Amino acid sequence: MTRPPIRIGSRGSKLALVQARWTQAAICAALGEPAERREIVAPIVEITTSGDRIQDRRLLEVGGKALFTKEIEEALLDGRVDCAVHSLKDMPAESPPGLVLAAHPEREDPRDAFISERFASFEDLPQGARLGAASLRRQAQALYRRPDLEVVLLRGNVDTRLRKLAEGECDATLLALAGLNRLGLSAHAREVFDPYERPPAPGQGALAIQTRDADVSAPWVQALNHAPTRLAIAAERGALEALEGSCRTAMGTWTHVVDGQLNLVVEALAPDGSARWREEGSVPAAEGEPAAHALGLRLGQAVRAAGGDRLEL
């Protein structure tokens, strides 16, 4: 019997399509289909999102993270695609009714990278240097250490940001190392930040395979899950939920397992970098995702209580 195709919804950027093609191959493998049938078994449907179209403003000014997911989620709900591949850090804390983040493959490196044509490290930037950023978290973390810097808006996909940097729109920028690795561009990273000192965005480096509720238990969906990644994400998304994390909250998380303990750092900053609030904690990794999520909630709530109104623009 011929199996209906599993249509994959994806943004059309180079990075999004690399991630979608990885998912396509993984679905074929899970179904026992040969690689040469991938376009039949799991065709990729490119969808342009509002976040792709709007490049001249920060996301927080025009609707937040949902601008990268809204049109793809509509296609899922309408039945035009059967799953969607997202960068997890772009996902709001909650999915729309009827949809679920069903699988998380093994995570790439979650750290941030410093990139510059002229300077070898963040600390080498001269007084008043222009740092290109679109993320409120990266802006706040940078200004917390270097309030002298001028942060300029640098939107666009990875290639666009690297081109703007080369053209002199800024002296340096910060990008997710995961995206550079997936695109074969990691040589551009001049410095990789310590994730304890500069926690990345919740879920950074991880993919989210989103499906309709009815498909969450499908064998091909479950085959894409990576248990250690899911455990870390449970903790980080708990913190995201507690802090109502959006493009208006400069927050970061870092999760790592040592000697059977899942350790979590949750950080939030005033948008202008003038203050920082941090909490750390751990639970036995063997206690699983519910305990990890509860840890994230607890630490995130403590950070929110400490920072209060100073956390958001």
Q: What is the pLDDT along the chain (313 residues), one digit of tens a residue?
A: 578 999 999 998 899 999 999 999 999 999 999 999 999 999 999 998 766 665 555 555 555 556 778 899 999 999 999 999 999 988 887 789 999 999 999 999 999 999 999 999 999 999 999 999 989 999 999 999 999 999 999 988 899 999 999 999 999 999 999 999 999 999 999 999 999 999 999 999 999 999 999 999 999 999 999 999 999 999 999 999 999 765 678 999 999 999 999 999 999 999 999 999 999 999 999 999 999 999 999 999 999 999 998 997 6
Within 10 angstroms of residue 305's Cβ, the number of other Cβ atoms is: 11
Beta strand 172-176 pairing with 112-115:
antiparallel
- Give the 3-state secondary structure of residue 188: helix
Give me the catalytic one of 90, 109, 112, 171.
90
DSSP bridge partners of 276: 269
Give the rounded distance of the alpha carbon of 297 from its chain centre.
19
Any idea where the domains of the chain sit in the sequence?
Answer: 112-192
Beta bridge partners of 257: 262
β pairing state of 99-103 and 207-212: antiparallel
Whether 259 is a known active-site residue: answer: no
For the domain made up of 112-192, the CATH class stated in words is alpha beta
Radius of gyration of the chain (CA): 19
